[in-house]
Amino acid sequence: MEIRFQRILLATSLSLLISIGIITPAKADQSVDFVLFNEDATNDASGNNTSLNESNADVDVDVDRRTVLEDILDNENFELGIQFGLMSIEDFETNGWVSAHFAYHITEFFYAKARYGQSDAGQTSFEKLVNVPPLLTDEQRKLRYYGLNIGYNLMPGEVFLGRDFALNSVFSIELGGGTTEFAGDEKFTVNLTANYRIFLTDWLTWDIAMSDYIFDTSITGEHKTSHNLNFTTGFAFYF
């Protein structure tokens, strides 16, 4: 009786294991034996059991590796440029302007720039309205500036010319000081400049700048601080 009970319990357990897939029956010609389900076992296309470990054997993959050459970074830290534009000399009209600069790029962001520029002042409103002798001689009307600026590259970026063509660019600000020779006198001058550069090549840039030359003057009889705005464009060479 006890043996019969054990057989019934064994048959019930096997049926339950088969139903939940823990064990699988053998082929039809092996009606007695059962095969335990192995997680590493799979059936191949012919129906034979194969092991996942065998299917995951090392496979030699022949990959063609391409040679990548790192870009050679340019180390041109010196800059030489020339600009042309207009300068609005306070009380003396807007006149032509030409300047040149020499810069040294200290780091990726900071640079020092020596600048020289000149312009010829026009006539004042008083000279135009009243028939009086000129306030200044031709030589005194020549404005010359030379000074030193410290610049900071604020926003490096790109300029897109079409869908597939772009040029590097950078927006920078400058602060400096120097001397302005004008009306037979030398005046200490503060210079504020906003500069936008587009890199046509790694050694040539197109520059666009807006500057303010600030100095004290009393040429017209009133002592005041004059703001002389300057707009320029030109090219700079790196070496």
Q: Identify the pLDDT of residue 124.
A: 84
pTM equals 0.68
Pairing of strands 185-199, 204-217: antiparallel
Structure tokens at 85: 């534009």
Contact 84, 97 (CB under 8 A): yes
DSSP sequence for 31-55: -S-EEE--TTEEE-TTS-EEEHHHH
Say whether both 191 and 234 belong to one domain.
yes
Task: Give the separation between CA 190 and CA 175, rounded to whole angstroms.
Answer: 8
User: In the prediction, which pLDDT does 74 show?
Assistant: 60
Residues lower than pLDDT 70 in the chain:
1-10, 13-14, 16-61, 66-74
Q: Is residue 158 part of a domain?
A: yes
C-alpha–C-alpha distance, residues 146 and 118, integer Å = 9
Look at residue 72 and tell me if it is in a domain. Answer: no
31 and 83 housed in the same domain? no
């590493």: which residue's tokens? 40
Give the model confidence (pLDDT) of 125-165 as tens digits. Answer: 777 777 777 888 889 999 999 999 999 999 899 999 888 89
- Give the tokens for residue 238: 């790196």
Q: Does the residue 70 lie in any domain?
A: no
**Residues 9 and 42 occupy one common structural domain:** yes
**Both tokens of residue 18?**
């088969």
227 inside domain: yes
For residue 66, being part of any structural domain is answered with no
Q: Are residues 86 and 171 in the same domain?
A: yes
Range of the domain at 182: 78-238
Distance of CA 79 to the CA centre of its chain: 19
Q: Distances in Å between the alpha carbon of 94 and those of 126, 132, 215?
A: 16, 21, 17
- CB atoms < 10 A from the CB of 149, how many? 22
Domain count across the chain: 2
Q: What is the CATH number of the domain that holds 124?
A: 2.40.160.20
Show the CA angle centred on residue 163, arms to residues 157 and 169, nearest 5°: 20
Residues 126 and 176 reside in one and the same domain: yes
Are 92 and 197 contained in the same domain? yes
Asked which of 13, 40, 55 is the last residue of a domain, the reply is 55
Q: What does each C-alpha distance from 107 to 44, 65, 112, 191 come to in angstroms?
A: 65, 36, 10, 22
Which among 96, 130, 99, 128 has a CA at the least distance from the CA of 113? 99
For residue 227, the tally of other CB atoms under 10 A from its CB is 12
Q: What is the pLDDT of residue 23?
A: 57
Q: Are residues 44 and 108 in the same domain?
A: no
Other C-beta atoms within 10 Å of 143: how many?
21
Quick: pLDDT tens for 213-223: 999 998 877 88
- Evaluate whether residue 136 is within a structural domain: yes
Three-state SS at 3: helix
167 and 95: one domain? Answer: yes
Cα-based distances in Å from 224 to 90, 186, 201, 214, 217: 11, 15, 44, 10, 6
In a domain, 102, yes or no: yes
Which pLDDT score, from 0 to 100, does residue 60 have? 65
Do 167 and 215 reside in the same domain of the chain? yes
